[in-house]
């Protein structure tokens, strides 16, 4: 089982739609979780950290379910500018390198 697995893309959604991505991780001792956004041929950028209690930043909501070892990202009222690849990222054991999923590609269509 891969350390971090994500929904295969692409997700093609109309503007204004709500879309959700899921991600599972294999190491139950993993400590930190993140969502990064990567535009085509550009560098990844931190979108948001994911906390046990869940957290929200505008139209974006991240949730962590430790019991089931999955992380989710919900985007409400999708904009054309949300089109990108969303990378699920896990820090497996504290002071260790981040492990990235393959990413899920989102295309928001007018």
Residue 80 in the binding site for another protein (CB under 8 A)? no
Any contact of residue 51 with another protein (CB under 8 A)? no
Smaller CB distance to another protein: residue 87 or 108?
Answer: 87
Task: Decide if residue 97 touches another protein (CB under 8 A).
Answer: yes
**Which structure tokens are listed for 91?**
């820090």
The token pair at 69 is 């070892």
Q: Read off the DSSP letter of residue 82.
A: G
Tell me the closest approach of the beta carbon of residue 15 to another protein, in angstroms.
26
Identify whether the C-beta of residue 19 lies closer than 8 Å to the C-beta of residue 76: no
Q: Are 87 and 35 in contact (CB under 8 A)?
A: yes
61/104 with CB nearer another protein? 104
Q: What are phi and psi of 86, to 5 degrees?
A: -110, 120
Q: Which is nearer to another protein, 9 or 76 (CB)?
A: 9
**Contacts to another protein by CB under 8 A:** 4, 32, 34, 41-46, 87, 91, 94-103
């Amino acid at each position: 089982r891969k350390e971090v697995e994500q929904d295969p893309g692409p997700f093609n959604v109309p503007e204004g739609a709500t879309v959700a991505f899921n991600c599972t991780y294999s190491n139950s001792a993993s400590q930190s979780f993140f969502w990064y956004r990567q535009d085509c041929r550009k560098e990844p950028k931190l979108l948001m950290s994911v906390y046990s209690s869940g957290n929200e930043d505008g139209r974006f909501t991240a949730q962590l379910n430790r019991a089931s070892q999955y992380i989710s990202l919900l985007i409400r009222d999708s904009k054309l500018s949300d089109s990108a690849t969303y990378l699920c990222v896990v820090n497996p054991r504290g002071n260790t390198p981040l492990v990235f999923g393959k990413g899920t590609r989102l295309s928001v269509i007018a």
